[in-house]
Amino acid sequence: MESPLVVASNRGPISFDVGEDGELIERRGSGGLVTALSDVFLRDDITWISSAMTDADVGVAQEGRELMVEPGLRARFVLIPEERYGAYYNRIANQILWFAHHCLWDIARSPRFDDDTKHDWRAFVDVNRAFAQTLDQEEDEPVFLVQDYHLCLVPEMLRDLRPDAKIVHFSHTPFAAPMYLRVLPVEMRTAIVRGMAGADIIGFQSRAWGENFLLSAQGLAGVHVDQRRGRVDLDGRRAFVRTFPVAVNAGSLRGTAARPDLKATAKEIASWRGDRSMLLRVDRLEPSKNILRGFLAFELFLSRYPAWQGRVKFLVLLSPSREDLDEYRTYGEECLAQAKRINGEFGDDTWEPIDVRVQEDYEYAVAAYSNYDALIVNPVYDGMNLVAMEGPLVNRRQGVLILSRNAGAYGRLGKHALPVNPFDLSETADAILQALEMPPDERARRARGLSRSVQAHTPATWLTDQLEAVDAVRPPMIGR
Amino acid sequence: MESPLVVASNRGPISFDVGEDGELIERRGSGGLVTALSDVFLRDDITWISSAMTDADVGVAQEGRELMVEPGLRARFVLIPEERYGAYYNRIANQILWFAHHCLWDIARSPRFDDDTKHDWRAFVDVNRAFAQTLDQEEDEPVFLVQDYHLCLVPEMLRDLRPDAKIVHFSHTPFAAPMYLRVLPVEMRTAIVRGMAGADIIGFQSRAWGENFLLSAQGLAGVHVDQRRGRVDLDGRRAFVRTFPVAVNAGSLRGTAARPDLKATAKEIASWRGDRSMLLRVDRLEPSKNILRGFLAFELFLSRYPAWQGRVKFLVLLSPSREDLDEYRTYGEECLAQAKRINGEFGDDTWEPIDVRVQEDYEYAVAAYSNYDALIVNPVYDGMNLVAMEGPLVNRRQGVLILSRNAGAYGRLGKHALPVNPFDLSETADAILQALEMPPDERARRARGLSRSVQAHTPATWLTDQLEAVDAVRPPMIGR
């Protein structure tokens, strides 16, 4: 546990701009993964390696420099030519791998792989290799913590460069079932599974995703899998599949919520709500989040239980996401059109049923958390889902959580939430009713259960569990 | 192996019409499943139970009659009110279960379950129960052979009525991966897995589908699964998962191909082909068959290898399928529009690259089989695929088979075929080139391999393997 840590992720916690006098100005990163990881990794003695995002980052990368961001945190950048970044990030990672792991294709029509895909894949391989080479420049014997599907090839590449390295790969997303991973060209799916299996520990948010990985590994030539022990043997190496559900930092989140400016925003939202009940959703505007069916279920709820018309407001906070991808833009437009239609059919001068705000504003979301009576988190599939954990920590109205059975968070929070099948409008509409009409004592009991379950796990545990898992399979005393 | 056999399937091998003098007139059924099964099951001493499809069938069913169709074949019908049949067959079986098992949903948008789904599901349960009750009227100790996803609840229902019954359920389709089966409402997916597990033997076309079933069973409360042995224990009963790939009857198929009328048709097709090469596809017009990407891959082939323009004709025989479902109609229109567009871009007065015929004409397809230089079978997912087996038996030009790795038939024929990832247009275009330009000795070797592999298995083996599997787990000597 004494080893220094080296984290690799596509985006880092920090970027730089060049100031007027040529000095570097820090810019804190945003986005779910970075926020979650920053809380965990910003401890003593850590080096964080990520893609150079700005001109200043590129400058730092070109000089091969390492920047001391704050005591104990060093940042280093991997230089990726812009054209290659588009292929690696937009096309392979976001348009193919994200869709594979979340089952998002309309299989009869998409995807269609062609020579462009091959070209993009080569860029993806190159970027992963550049990360592996940068990691290999680290001295001492660190533990390498490689994050997510963007860097799924890094563990094997790093292993080839540095056979004794201690490597953990962690997937923040689900992992596709074998039948769905087979959609990918053979070369890609083989490289992904072999790439991840280059780690000592292959971490997932929930057992189900790890099982999918093991099943796909089992199908590869020369690989031996022990499903029960979560063990993968190939090329004379051994990797272990383990589950490490991420956690949120309750103290820091509540600190944020308690800031005077957020309290003022929370008050504004409370007065917007008035004496009505408030249903809330907070999400990236993203097809896997199931925003469309969320609206349709709310519509079904209003038409099935008309006594609730005029008595509930649905606040929908959506942060823009990957707007340069057609699939995202189209999906976003469909969502907004449905909300508008529903408002047209049910609303009047005194009441707008759904209030959608497309904005990048984390603080506003935290302020909204304190105000909901019910929070709906109904993704079609989700690695974990942080909103489901953040909401109950901040909420002050003993709000009820409506939670998809297909979110990783369901394993931890399911018994205190109202479970829904995200594809079932009828079940979701009834869950909204049940949430809004729940007797106070049951609300209180469930809210307490949620809050305790979330706090039972901390980001520190998530990290130390991974480090202990590495130590267990590479005992330091063997003296490599 | 001495037990009489009782087969249950949604459609039977035979229907009746009422003639002018009130007599019953036989009408042989068509469709892939029925054709395949008729070859197998039309042996001594069999009772075939299916849905009443015509007014005459209904009459027979209402009288509770059993009809001797020919020596050894008795037919019996299950009476299903028309409204209920639509819910059971169109909406649950074809629009939901077929889509689940073939991964066909555009998950971000469909399916959307609601109260209509619940209502339809009740009809599905009722129809399955009606089948189970009809099966239970059989005397002696037959082996019950229950076919396909339409009747997936029958085994458990029959088991409840008749605890000692010998029951085999066989799936002609793939079986959804757990992550995809979870799309279904909990009640449905639980009932499906428990329903099938009511059989002694749960049969699939390939190991992969059986593994998916076992994984879903593992997730159910009170169920114990031994994945390696393919064993499912629940409610004090035990079921075994086994693989029985279906086979085609080579003798009867070649007999059909040798009929003078088919030979005449084959000649017509040969003269239509002329001295050009011929690429063939034969399919139901169905999203899982991947007709759309087949056209796009052919287009890529023509534009990438322009020397082939004017030198190859693509004959596409599509039998209409489920035209009353929107998803099918839309998909069919998209396919035809693409073919038309490609013909417009590449064709001229002397050459039409793609000739699409939408027709229900099995004999024409058999005649076409004899003429192809390459046969493309590229389904996104397919339980088995009979076309891939029929073509090589009849073809007389040492034609090459281009075969999707996701078809069950790939397990048996893969090493003699040119494998393709059905989503990869580039790989498919190159496979077309490789097929059309393959040297004669390699063509001959592969064609021989295909034909031998197909003939190594017979429909009789498929059936006796199932009966032996039942005998093995319910030894007759125990004297129940």
Token pair recorded at residue B429: 């275009």
Q: What is the pLDDT of residue A357?
A: 97
Contact residues on chain B for A427, CB-CB shorter than 8 A: 113, 185
Contact residues on chain A for B104, CB-CB shorter than 8 A: 107-108
Burial of B243 (0-12, 13-18, 19+ CB in 10 A): middle
Tokens 């089948």 belong to which residue?
B131
Write the pLDDT tens digit of every residue in B73-100: 888 999 999 889 999 999 999 999 999 9
Mind telling me how many Å the CA of A453 is from chain B's nearest CA? Answer: 23
How many angstroms separate the CA atoms of A438 and A375, rounded?
A: 13
Token pair recorded at residue B160: 């409840």
pLDDT score of A459 more than 90: no
Least CB-CB distance to B185: which of A108, A292, A421? Answer: A421
Going by pLDDT thresholds of 50, 70 and 90, the confidence category of residue A8 is: very high
Q: What is the pLDDT of residue A37?
A: 65
Tell me which of B107, B288, B300, B410 to substitute to probe the interface with A (most A C-beta atoms closer than 10 Å): B107
Contact residues on chain B for A285, CB-CB shorter than 8 A: none
SS (HEC) of B296-322: HHHHHHHHHCHHHCCCEEEEEEEECCC
Separation of first and last alpha carbons in chain B: 16
> Among residues of chain B, what percentage have pLDDT more than 70?
95
Q: How many CA atoms lie within 13 A of A107 on its CB side?
A: 29
pLDDT score of B167 more than 60: yes
Q: What is the pLDDT of residue A36?
A: 59
Q: What is the pLDDT of residue A53?
A: 84
The residue ranking higher by pLDDT, B238 or B37, is B238
How far is CA A230 from each of CA A192, A204, A241, A244, B200, rounded to the nearest angstrom? 17, 12, 5, 14, 30
Closest CA to B246 of B145, B322, B159: B145
pLDDT score of B323 more than 90: no
DSSP at B150 = G
pLDDT score of B43 more than 70: no
Tell me which of B122, B182, B378, B382 to substitute to probe the interface with A (most A C-beta atoms closer than 10 Å): B182
pLDDT score of A89 more than 90: yes
Write the pLDDT tens digit of every residue in A430-448: 999 999 999 999 999 999 9
Contact residues on chain A for B103, CB-CB shorter than 8 A: 107, 179-180
**Which of the residue ranges A64-68, B9-13, B306-310 would you say has the lowest mean pLDDT?**
A64-68
pLDDT score of A22 more than 90: no
Task: With CB atoms and an 8 Å threshold, state whether B114 touches A424.
Answer: yes
Q: What is the pLDDT of residue A64?
A: 75
Write the pLDDT tens digit of every residue in A200-256: 999 999 999 999 999 999 989 999 999 889 999 998 999 999 999 999 989 989 999
Token pair recorded at residue B168: 């085999």
Going by pLDDT thresholds of 50, 70 and 90, the confidence category of residue B31 is: low
Least CB-CB distance to A107: which of B104, B117, B185? Answer: B104
DSSP at B351 = B
* 8 Å CB contact between B34 and B76: no
Q: What is the pLDDT of residue B480?
A: 42
SS3 B222: coil
User: Can you tell me the mean pLDDT for B427-433?
Assistant: 98
- Scanning every residue of chain B, which has its alpha carbon at the shortest distance from the alpha carbon of A104? B107
User: Can you tell me the mean pLDDT for B7-33?
Assistant: 78
- Give the distance from CA B127 to its chain's centroid: 21
Going by pLDDT thresholds of 50, 70 and 90, the confidence category of residue A301 is: very high
Q: What is the pLDDT of residue A45?
A: 78
Going by pLDDT thresholds of 50, 70 and 90, the confidence category of residue B479 is: very low
Tokens 């029929």 belong to which residue?
B390
pLDDT score of A323 more than 90: no
Rg (CA), chain B: 23
Q: How many CA atoms lie within 13 A of A444 on its CB side?
A: 3
pLDDT score of A2 more than 90: no
Going by pLDDT thresholds of 50, 70 and 90, the confidence category of residue B476 is: low
Least CB-CB distance to B380: which of A103, A108, A296? Answer: A108
- Scanning every residue of chain A, which has its alpha carbon at the shortest distance from the alpha carbon of B119? A426
- How many of the other CB atoms lie within 10 Å of CB of B69? 18
pLDDT score of B409 more than 60: yes
Helix/strand/coil percent split, chain B, to 5? 50, 20, 30
Closest CA to A199 of A469, A415, A395: A469
Task: With CB atoms and an 8 Å threshold, state whether A180 touches B212.
Answer: no
Q: What is the pLDDT of residue B431?
A: 98
Task: With CB atoms and an 8 Å threshold, state whether B108 touches A227.
Answer: no
Going by pLDDT thresholds of 50, 70 and 90, the confidence category of residue A71 is: confident
**Which of the residue ranges A139-148, A409-418, B318-327 would you say has the lowest mean pLDDT?**
B318-327
Task: With CB atoms and an 8 Å threshold, state whether B293 touches A185.
Answer: no
**Which of the residue ranges A45-54, A283-292, A386-395, B188-197 would you say has the lowest mean pLDDT?**
A45-54
Least CB-CB distance to A296: which of B112, B421, B425? Answer: B112
The residue ranking higher by pLDDT, B23 or B245, is B245
- How many of the other CB atoms lie within 10 Å of CB of A35? 19
Q: What is the pLDDT of residue B478?
A: 44
Task: With CB atoms and an 8 Å threshold, state whether B118 touches A212.
Answer: no
Mind telling me how many Å the CA of B351 is from chain A's nearest CA? Answer: 26
> Among residues of chain B, what percentage have pLDDT more than 90?
79
Q: What is the pLDDT of residue B13?
A: 79
> Among residues of chain A, what percentage have pLDDT more than 70?
95
Closest CA to B470 of B209, B131, B146: B146
Least CB-CB distance to A300: which of B108, B114, B180? Answer: B114
User: Can you tell me the mean pLDDT for B437-457?
Assistant: 97
β-bridge partners, B51: B78
DSSP at A383 = S
Task: With CB atoms and an 8 Å threshold, state whether B179 touches A381.
Answer: yes
Mind telling me how many Å the CA of B300 is from chain A's nearest CA? Answer: 9
Burial of B304 (0-12, 13-18, 19+ CB in 10 A): middle
Going by pLDDT thresholds of 50, 70 and 90, the confidence category of residue A15 is: confident
Going by pLDDT thresholds of 50, 70 and 90, the confidence category of residue A43 is: low
Tokens 């965990």 belong to which residue?
A40
Q: What is the pLDDT of residue A34?
A: 59
Helix (H) or strand (E) holding B291: helix B291-304
Q: What is the pLDDT of residue B363?
A: 94
